[in-house]
Amino acid sequence: MPLAVMLHGPQQKEPFPSQKLYGRGYLLFFSHVSNLVEHVLAGYNGTIFAYGQTGSGKTFTITGGAERYSDRGIIPRTLSYIFEELQKDSSKIYTTHISYLEIYNECGYDLLDPRHEASSLEDLPKVTILEDPDQNIHLKNLSRHQATTEEEALNLLFLGDTNRMIAETPMNQASTRSHCIFTIHLSSKEPGSATVRHAKLHLVDLAGSERVAKTGVGGQLLTEAKYINLSLHYLEQVIIALSEKHRSHIPYRNSMMTSVLRDSLGGNCMTTMIATLSLEKRNIDESISTCRFAQRVALIKNEAVLNEEIDPRLMIARLQKEVQELRDELALVTGELRTEALTEAELLL
């Protein structure tokens, strides 16, 4: 299926009636995001990522504002929606885990370090990428935390946001200087069944692109801007490669972000991109660039499949139960009670 793309700009002066009651995020969530979340609940992988220049509203869109309840972003609304749906569905057993990864200057950090709340970014565990022979990506040192309620999940979000790297730039006084990937891992199975469905939903807040000459930054902010622009450049190269037919090599390994999001870009995932725009005249070049990027993303087609597997532990337990039942039936027929364990020959059958 094609990747979905939607444009998102600053809030208009006169809100729609539903916006007055529920906030701007209400329309965005229920018009585009809720359908994708429904598929994640059914066992498909999903990704939502926000892309745009710095100060155009990516973090506000993904995470939301802290002042008003109506300013909640996509992540808290998604958590609320998921746990509401899980409470309604009594036919399955669900397990939910949360992870929160920050990529800052091409280094990964676990924002949910279980040992303590970090006083600086360097205190957090470094996350590294491992790739197995089947080219599956594994993130070493990235912790997963079980959340049984919406409140527990939101507390994990708040902890991660507290540890996140924030700095001031001339273009945005509260600019996020890193890429952050909030992931919801869902497992579900029917009672008594050995078939388990696994799904993950990436909610991605990319750092904003910016022109160094235009912002006038220096020192550490200049270094950050170079890393941000380079990683976004590699993301663009992956998008271009995916949009070209008969392209054999896709440069996922060029950056940590594209490696982590390999499935989300041209893989087993249902992906939605939110393009955020600044409507100020002086940012027209950046807005056009964002629209062109979104146009290329819309050409990509992903092949999402249902993620089902047999849990070997449940299958073994079921077979052991069947063996015991057959023993009991045999004992009733022959009148002999067999208590010894199976022989090696019987186990091989």
- Is pLDDT above 50 for 15? no
DSSP state of 71: G
Q: What is the dihedral of CA 324, 328, 330, 332, to 10 degrees?
A: 180
**Is 53 among the annotated ligand-binding positions?**
yes
The response to whether 56 counts as a known ligand-binding position is yes
Q: Quick one: pLDDT at residue 41? A: 93
Does the pLDDT value for residue 332 go beyond 60? yes
Residue 22, pLDDT above cutoff 90? no
What pLDDT is recorded for position 215?
53
Average pLDDT over residues 288-309: 88
Between 109 and 336, the higher pLDDT residue: 109
Residue 61 marked as a ligand binder: no
> Annotated binding residue at 57?
yes
Inter-residue long-range contacts of 69-73, CB under 8 Å, 24+ positions, other chains counted: 69/23, 70/21, 70/22, 70/23, 70/24, 70/25, 70/26, 71/23, 71/24, 71/25, 72/23, 72/25, 73/25
Mean of pLDDT values over 76-98: 94
Stretch 90-110: mean pLDDT, rounded? 93
How sure is the predictor about 76, in pLDDT bands with cuts at 50, 70 and 90?
Answer: very high
The CATH fold assigned to 4-310 is Kinesin (3.40.850)
Mean pLDDT of the chain: 80
pLDDT tens per residue, range 33-68: 888 999 999 999 999 999 988 888 888 889 887 778
- Burial of 112-137, coded b for 16+ CB within 10 Å and e otherwise, reads bbeeeebeebeebbebeeeeeeeeee
C-alpha to C-alpha distance for 238 and 249, rounded to whole angstroms: 9
Q: How far apart are CA 55 and CA 224, in angstroms?
A: 16
DSSP string, 191-224: TT--EEEEEEEEEEEPPPB--HHHHT--THHHHH
pTM here?
0.80
> What are the pLDDT digits (tens) for 164-210?
765 444 454 455 678 999 999 999 998 878 789 999 999 999 987 76
Better-scored residue on pLDDT, 39 or 16: 39
Residues in the chain: 349
Look-up of token digits 């946001």: 161
Q: What integer pLDDT is reported at residue 11 of this predicted model?
A: 45
- What mean pLDDT is predicted for residues 138-157? 95
Q: Which residue has the higher pLDDT, 211 or 285?
A: 285
> Where are the chain's structural domains?
4-310, 312-348
